[in-house]
Structure 1
């Protein structure tokens, strides 16, 4: 386990056992963002351990747009500080290295889409700065794989690092993101002409376009289970457009309301994106009021098209995609892949089973957020968490707290809560949730410290 920082000299005489011990499981974007929020919001010394078996810290893990040529969120939406919404733009403007790499956007820098490596550098920079300002905090990176979590007999949580080794923590943040499945994209020794990319989301489209851009692949078959592909962002950022009419409380009524409002906006030339943004701002209230049957119906019939309008491509990427489709360089097939082999895939198309031969196959499907992993199963068996009704992730509240509010200090952050909180896989929502969770934890740590101080006073007497 690697030590990153130690306490300052003015706290060296503090009993280390009195430091709150916090674990973050996952070092993708959600995990790093949670750590930044803890540095900023928890005003007492603490001991933080960040677990992840991967040596590389992947900022793209845990947000809906994994490492790609261009992120699908605009500059204006990528600040890591909810009180400074222009922080990312200002960082770009003052950093010559990155500012010079950006193409001038007629709508202004805040409306631009930037490469993923630029955002990663910004996140690393803010993490480093936040850590530097907390010399009273111990931070360690652990390469152990966390296999289970349970209540600790002495209070808090036991984090198991294998069948026998366990460590106690006062608070645990699960930040394991999506769990992206992707086969190796190394081309065969003899070269590759045809590729199959499995998935209909942003990442799949990005990989398909990247393969064609490298000029090593002449044709890509893009397999979308639903048949839907991501829609386009508006040329310039639009806010949430809200109507004066109350939104219906049923799934059928709400989406009829959305379609009518979007069609009207298109006829008026204002575009559907603002209407969709307004709908998303009300989505959590709508979701909370739906019956279990309506939620199941949403998963079966609506989720795919909803996601295709929620997670959008930059206009330039959208145009490239449809130009490639029109030219025949990309063929879109609707169907479910049953098996992936070294020389192609077997999939169920509307007309029946088909075999698609390919020199190269890349699987870009998102599986549910690790809910079938031993780690999440251990939480459910221990009564510490509950799967959501859609089996997308774990039931959480706005701050990421799991099943019971009485269980202080157990959080499932970011995409793990998608079944409870629509849009919690997007950067602004993860940022807000991380700061809210850290503020809650700060209150609990303060209460525990006061209780210890009272005990110590009586011990002295």
Structure 2
């Protein structure tokens, strides 16, 4: 392994004849793709990771905040799909963690993004150490555009205007939390706080504010009116139906609701039914009409998300205890404006002004498909918007889809493909996609002839 921090060389004995691969973004999706390439791309190559943040962090894109609890169990968080218990074994090497988790079992435990980030970074470092035939460069620059090179391949252009040629490019910029409008808390009595957001991150932040006595009352603003449901106390696998999945949106979710209700009556819980449904969601999604997909985005997605992005049982109990006691009030509405002393909220009853001593914005920032980077690949014909405007159209391997049998070396990974692949914002799905993309990239470079030089060097 060679790790470089100097300017990217035009050509050298070390890198000139190697296939060049770029990863744009170094949150979890980017780091995961680097791990998969280092473990699964079995020929020498030169990898460049672009991100203006000079420090590698494996947790940015996982938990939205490093200290927030993840919504997947330990058993589902391995970065190597061939070693399912890898994360568990890593945790069990720590005596303090092993004692803390012994009561409920490590497999069923939930961890913070901070803990998971440490694991991901260690596995990245180990994969890097094991590849003495790979040159890796960390490029602390933002990328403004990606377009075709006149002699084949892709040109990555930084904000500073530097152009670098690559044989394959992975877009892995994902999304994250909106920049918070929160003010520093005043010293003194606990405050009346507004937390904006209805997801796991928002709930976790609200509970932390209460437990640390940083708030006496929290108004939790959910745009959809839904909050995350609960995981079961013990992990349950997918419950597969032997019935064919209805091909329409209405039929599929009617079938899901009926199966979940039956499971609840039988005492087995709806979570296994939902886990089974998620395994077939891609099949359903491909068969839906454009209008049905738009209807899903408008009407079904919020409740679907509240059942797939679940809280650990202890968090769910604390949330509903806080709601019952009046410590948390949940309000449905759209935030129109944030001020230092509260928010302007649009509700079904009209505009309302909600006063607060502090406002914490925990909404997930959607992908800005009109950002210069995405506009560049779309205008160049390297990628297409998905029809729901959620991101970029991709196949299961993350290859940007522009037409039948058309692919030019651009991979669009993780949450950027949510309009094409349901659940691709979840850790297990991102891991599987990263290895599928590595296999596709290996075949792509072989088919285009970029592997010829690699073989001569190896």
Q: TM-score scaled to structure 2, two decimals?
A: 0.93
Shift of residue 46 of structure 1? 1.3
- Paired residue for 1:279, among 277, 280, 296? 277
Trace 1:114-193 onto structure 2 (pairs within 5 A): 114-162=111-159, 164-183=161-180, 185-190=182-187, 193=191
Displacement of 1:243 in angstroms is 1.7
Aligned to 1:89: 88
SS state of the match for residue 60, structure 2?
coil
Separation in 2, partners of 1:346, 1:13:
58
**1:226 aligned residue (201, 224, 248):** 224
Aligned residue for 2:101, secondary structure, equals: coil
Match of 2:392 in 1: 394
- 1:412 alignment counterpart: 412
Aligned residues: 447
Change (3 A) 1:389 1:283: same
1:216 shift after superposition: 1.6
Distance 1:183 1:87 in 2: 35
Is the Cα–Cα contact under 8 Å of residues 75 and 109 in structure 1 kept in the other structure?
yes
CA shift at 1:30, angstroms? 0.5
1:187-202 counterparts in 2 under 5 A? 187-190=184-187, 193-202=191-200
**Which residue is 2:311 aligned to?**
313
What is the aligned counterpart of 1:365 among 363, 366, 376? Answer: 363
Structure 1 residues 348, 294: CA separation in 2 closer, same or farther (over 3 Å shift)? same
State the 1:99 CA deviation.
2.9
Counterpart CA distance in 1 for 2:14 and 2:102 is: 54
Which stretch of structure 1 is more off in the superposition, 344-353 or 173-182?
173-182
Determine which of 240, 245, 248 is the counterpart of 1:247: 245
Q: Deviations over 1:107-135 (max 9, x none)?
A: x2111112322211111110010000012
Check 1:41–1:455 CA distance in 2 against 1; reply closer, same or farther (3 A cut). closer
State the alpha-carbon separation in 1 of the partners of residues 414 and 353 from structure 2: 37
Q: Verify the 8 A CA contact 2:24 2:143 in the aligned structure 1.
A: yes
CA 1:160–1:14 in structure 2 vs 1: closer, same or farther (change >3 Å)? closer
User: 2:266 is matched with which residue: 268, 273, 276?
Assistant: 268
C-alpha distance in 1, partners of 2:146/2:12?
31
Residues 396/273 of structure 1: CA separation in 2 closer, same or farther (3 Å cut): same
Distance 2:124 2:102 in 1: 28
Pairwise CA distance, 1:336: 0.4
Q: Deviations 1:9-53 (Å, cap 9, x if unpaired)?
A: xxx995632111111111111000000001011112211111111
Q: Encode CA deviations 1:291-323: one digit per residue, 9 max, x unaligned.
A: 000000001110000000010000000001111
Conserved 8 A contact 1:74-1:111: yes
Question: Match of 2:69?
Answer: 70
Contact kept? 2:30, 2:172, Cα under 8 Å: yes
Greater shift in the superposed pair: 346-355 or 48-57: 48-57
Q: 1:226 to 1:145 in 2, by over 3 A?
A: same
Indicate the SS of the match to 1:431.
helix
| Secondary structure at the counterpart of residue 63 of structure 1 | helix
User: Is the alpha carbon distance of 1:152 and 1:97 closer, same or farther for their aligned partners in structure 2, counting shifts above 3 Å?
Assistant: farther
Residue equivalent to 1:459: none
In structure 2, do the counterparts of structure 1 residues 450 and 144 end up closer, same or farther at CA, with 3 Å as the change threshold? closer
Residue 259 of structure 1 corresponds to which residue in structure 2? 257
* Structure 2: gaps of 5 or more residues: 6-10
1:236 equivalent in structure 2: 234
Distance 1:420 1:130 in 2: 30
Is 1:214 matched up with 2:212? yes
Summarize the alignment of residues 329-368 of structure 1 with structure 2, pairs less than 5 Å apart: 329-368=327-366
Distance 1:141 1:13 in 2: 17
1:427 matched to which residue of 2?
427
Does 1:110 find its partner at 2:117? Answer: no
